[in-house]
Amino acid sequence: MTNLVEIRGLTVEATTDSGRWIKILKGIDLDIAAGETVAFIGESGSGKTTAAMTLLGYARPGCRISGGTVTVDGHDMVTLSEKDRAALRGTTVAYVPQSAAAAFNPASTIMEQVIEVTRIHRLMPPDEARRRAVALFRALSLPNPDSIGDRYPHQVSGGQLQRLAAAMALIGDPKVVIFDEPTTALDVTTQVEVLRAFKAVTAQHRIACVYVSHDLAVVAQIADRIMVLRNGAVQETGSVHDILTRPAHPYTQELLNAFHPDTGGREALPAADSGAPLLEINTLSAGYGPPQSNGQPLVLAVKGVSLKVKRGTNLGIIGESGCGKSTLARAIAGILPACKGDIQFNGKELWHSARQRSHDQLRDLQIVFQHADTALNPAKSIEDILGRPLTFYHGLRGKARDARVDALLDMVRLPRALRHRRPAELSGGQKQRVNFARALAAEPKLILCDEITSALDTVVAAAVIDLLKELQRELGLSYVFISHDLSVIEAICDEIVVMYRGQTVETIIPANRQQPQHPYSQLLFSSVPKLDPTWLDTLNIDADRMRVA
């Protein structure tokens, strides 16, 4: 018998701007049976998305499929004409993108976009398509399945939008669905719901899935087999159980080790209470919108938060999206001036607005943004991006500046040759490291890290965390670490603050092996995926009920 998907000797090449072709996929072989889920796992830049895209017969601009065959349901996607490929896309093979928010058109309703596939391929009359869409919404356990289609994309949450993107892919009754990191942008409590919905629907329709991810724990829940990729070559293919228990290839072992970040070696709060705290915040409130009669902004995102960061220690702030953790970071950095409360930094009172702060105060307190894509100027080279704070804060020029840029690239483990590239030519992980190196260039005392590892794969994230620890020892830095990823926060922070709806609900000190008390903290802690493949099925939490509590 033949398999639903057969990939033989697949190679993909990319061109550089001087017209040179480089192999980015080096001979991949894979079979997928009907109803089977295969996960492509690997670090950013390993070619996992490129490999998944070839199932659609698609190579990104500047790339080409240069050899091998990709047979999907009897059709060779490599040799088909573009018109024939288009006929198969959406009906035989469908795609769920990483960022559903960017994949939806904000100007038309969700229903119109979900049933668009049936209109293009003339699969069924619109009324029937709508009925089918509602059935899919119900199967994906979306709230209000009958009316959610009438809303616009900005009126639903990120997790819901991701499930709606899956509905869009499933409406044409495809045999193969490609999920491209569909839960990477979601927080853990939402991720659980989305994974459950995907698993139920694909099992019900016996759809073969390709699940692209860098998160081994998520993959363990959803996949039957795992293919480990690195530098465009397959390292290892095996069942989930084999890969998790008996990883043969060193890279796979590294991947598994990265999942257990080194939490040891941290003494419980060094020299507690000695000296003044580096950062102290008292009843800080901040929000958005025009000021009201009581002097507060229209929407208060942070409500009277107090916290302390001691010199040389790290504070973790954790919470779901919308809980105000990023707003808090922006208020501390002075981007969004707080409306109430006070910020003491390095023994001095800080102005609420960054404009009024002194040169040295700005230098000592750096912020690293979540999205390296928008935080790096696409028109400038890495050299210019890293060099500017050196010139601006330290007056370095010429050779001294070049040497320091090299040192910074070494520090964040990037090849020095990267300095001439532009951000668009780097992978996501590389961009985030440049983003971090720019903050280091200022030689600050405190770095606010706003979800800096959420876009990175586990190996790179673990490497970045190790790097942060090392730099902390060398430079005496402190971090305020904002994340929705508990394992990252536990690995590096001496103290964890759980935020919920703009307030801090609990402070946890990991060194004390303290168990969370607040119901929301409990939900958050139990939602972190475990490597155990049965974790999702046995997980017994009702997110909605917990959230109301």
Q: Which of the stretches 45-53, 188-196, 283-291, 389-397 binds other proteins when contact is defined by CB under 8 A?
A: 389-397
Q: Which of the stretches 17-25, 63-71, 106-114, 287-295 binds other proteins when contact is defined by CB under 8 A?
A: 17-25
Q: Which listed residue (31, 262, 402, 425) binds other proteins by CB under 8 A?
A: 425
- Tell me how far, at minimum, the Cβ of 416 lies from other proteins, in Å: 12
Binding status of residue 422 toward other proteins by CB under 8 A: yes
Binding status of residue 417 toward other proteins by CB under 8 A: yes
> Which tokens sit at 272?
């507690």
- Tell me how far, at minimum, the Cβ of 174 lies from other proteins, in Å: 34
Computed on alpha carbons and rounded to an integer, the radius of gyration of the chain in Å comes to: 24
Q: Which listed residue (174, 389, 428, 502) binds other proteins by CB under 8 A?
A: 389
Binding status of residue 154 toward other proteins by CB under 8 A: no
- Tell me how far, at minimum, the Cβ of 383 lies from other proteins, in Å: 11
| Spatial CA neighbour of 52 closest among 235, 165, 180 | 180
Binding status of residue 17 toward other proteins by CB under 8 A: yes
Site for other proteins in 428-467 (CB under 8 A): 438, 442
Alpha carbons within 13 A on the beta-carbon side of 235: 22
Q: Which of the stretches 51-59, 197-205, 344-352, 384-392 binds other proteins when contact is defined by CB under 8 A?
A: 384-392
| DSSP secondary structure letters along 464-508 | HHHHHHHHHHHH--EEEEEES-HHHHHHH-SEEEEEETTEEEEEE
Q: Which of the stretches 18-26, 71-79, 169-177, 507-515 binds other proteins when contact is defined by CB under 8 A?
A: 18-26
- The helix/strand/coil state of 174 is coil
9 or 288: CB nearest other proteins? 288
CB 366 within 8 Å of CB 332: no
**CA distance readout (Å), 173 to 133, 451, 496:** 11, 36, 45
Q: Which of the stretches 144-152, 227-235, 330-338, 523-531 binds other proteins when contact is defined by CB under 8 A?
A: 330-338
16 or 306: CB nearest other proteins? 16
- Tell me how far, at minimum, the Cβ of 377 lies from other proteins, in Å: 4
Q: Which listed residue (283, 377, 517, 534) binds other proteins by CB under 8 A?
A: 377
Q: Which of the stretches 9-17, 23-31, 96-104, 287-295 binds other proteins when contact is defined by CB under 8 A?
A: 9-17
CB proximity list for 458: less than 8 A, separation 6 or greater: 214, 215, 216, 255, 258, 259
Site for other proteins in 333-352 (CB under 8 A): 333-335
148 or 336: CB nearest other proteins? 336
CA distance 493 to 485: 12
CB 244 within 8 Å of CB 39: no
- Tell me how far, at minimum, the Cβ of 333 lies from other proteins, in Å: 6
How much helix, strand and coil, in percent to the nearest 5, is found in the chain? 40, 25, 35
Q: Which of the stretches 12-20, 258-266, 298-306, 480-488 binds other proteins when contact is defined by CB under 8 A?
A: 12-20
- Tell me how far, at minimum, the Cβ of 518 lies from other proteins, in Å: 32
The number of residues making up the chain comes to: 549
| Spatial CA neighbour of 249 closest among 261, 236, 258 | 236
- The helix/strand/coil state of 56 is helix
> Which tokens sit at 266?
């941290």
CB 453 within 8 Å of CB 43: no
Q: Give bridge partners of residue 361 from the DSSP assignment.
A: none
16 or 507: CB nearest other proteins? 16
Backbone phi, then psi, for 76, in 5-degree steps? -85, 105
132 or 445: CB nearest other proteins? 445
CA distance 405 to 419: 8
Binding status of residue 420 toward other proteins by CB under 8 A: yes
Binding status of residue 416 toward other proteins by CB under 8 A: no
- Tell me how far, at minimum, the Cβ of 46 lies from other proteins, in Å: 21
191 or 326: CB nearest other proteins? 326
**CA distance readout (Å), 110 to 59, 128, 172, 406, 482:** 27, 16, 16, 48, 32
Site for other proteins in 353-372 (CB under 8 A): 354, 357, 359, 362, 367, 369, 371
Interface residue list for other proteins (CB under 8 A): 15-20, 333-335, 354, 357, 359, 362, 367, 369, 371, 374-381, 388-389, 392-393, 417, 420-422, 425, 438, 442
